[in-house]
């Protein structure tokens, strides 16, 4: 009896589960299919139950932890075919944006008291941006040609305007640039000064 009890304790303590590295991040488009894996190794041959769970982000930066509904027709939980490599697969088909979240595998063996949660894989599901304008190649080429012409005009018109101003300034006479002060200097001098001094009217006072 003591030997059996010791043997039971030995196997109870020696049984353990070692997780393999998970793919940390997967990004998929809406309606695509993704396969998530939960691989691990164990020291004994005892059966380990597994449950897929997902943590989804909700309001106020909190997470909602829930069990994945594997009965959904879009989901498929595949059991490992090779006993030497325990690797469960969760296949999600026709993805929706609501499927995004952190997917983990909960491993449980009640007999040995083993409860392990895998590292998990975060799934991101996105919608592709639709085209605002569905333009043909001919229309695109015409738009590019028009843009090139407008750009050329924006370069040539200011240069032509500046060249016209320079040509106009060269054709002017030097007199057109003279100031009113220069015109006053060149005007004939006219004396309007009248000598009102009369010799007879001036008298010197004798000492």
Instruction: Kindly list the domain boundaries of the chain, sorted by start residue.
Output: 2-126, 137-181
Q: Report residue 107: phi and psi, to 5°.
A: -105, 135
pLDDT of the residue at 96: 94
Listed as ranges, residues in the chain with pLDDT below 50 are 1-12, 202, 204
pLDDT of the residue at 161: 77
pLDDT of the residue at 123: 95
pLDDT of the residue at 100: 94
pLDDT of the residue at 30: 95
pLDDT of the residue at 143: 86
Residue 200 CA: distances (Å) to CA of 50, 203, 204, 205, 207? 144, 7, 11, 14, 20
pLDDT of the residue at 36: 95
pLDDT of the residue at 150: 86
C-alpha angle with apex 161: 157 to 162, nearest 5 degrees?
120
CATH topology of domain 2-126: Immunoglobulin-like (2.60.40)
Q: For residue 158, what are its two tokens?
A: 């200011």
């Amino acid at each position: 009896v003591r030997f059996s009890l010791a043997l039971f304790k030995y196997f109870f303590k020696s049984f353990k589960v070692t997780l393999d590295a998970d793919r940390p991040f997967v990004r998929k488009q809406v309606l695509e299919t993704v396969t998530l894996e939960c691989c691990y190794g164990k020291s004994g041959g005892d059966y380990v139950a597994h449950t897929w769970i997902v943590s989804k982000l909700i309001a106020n930066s909190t997470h909602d932890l829930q069990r994945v509904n594997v009965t959904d027709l879009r989901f498929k939980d595949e059991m490992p075919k090779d006993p030497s490599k325990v690797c469960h697969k969760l296949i999600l088909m026709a993805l929706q944006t609501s499927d995004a979240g952190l997917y983990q595998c909960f491993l449980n063996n009640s007999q040995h008291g083993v409860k392990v949660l895998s590292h998990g894989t975060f799934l991101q599901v996105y919608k592709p941006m639709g085209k605002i304008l569905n333009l043909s190649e001919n229309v695109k080429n015409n738009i590019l040609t028009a843009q090139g012409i407008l750009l050329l005009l924006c370069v040539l018109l200011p240069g032509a305007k500046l060249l016209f101003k320079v040509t106009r300034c060269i054709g002017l006479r030097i007199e057109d640039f003279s100031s009113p002060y220069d015109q006053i200097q060149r005007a004939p001098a006219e004396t309007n000064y009248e000598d009102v001094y009369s010799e007879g009217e001036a008298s010197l006072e004798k000492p």
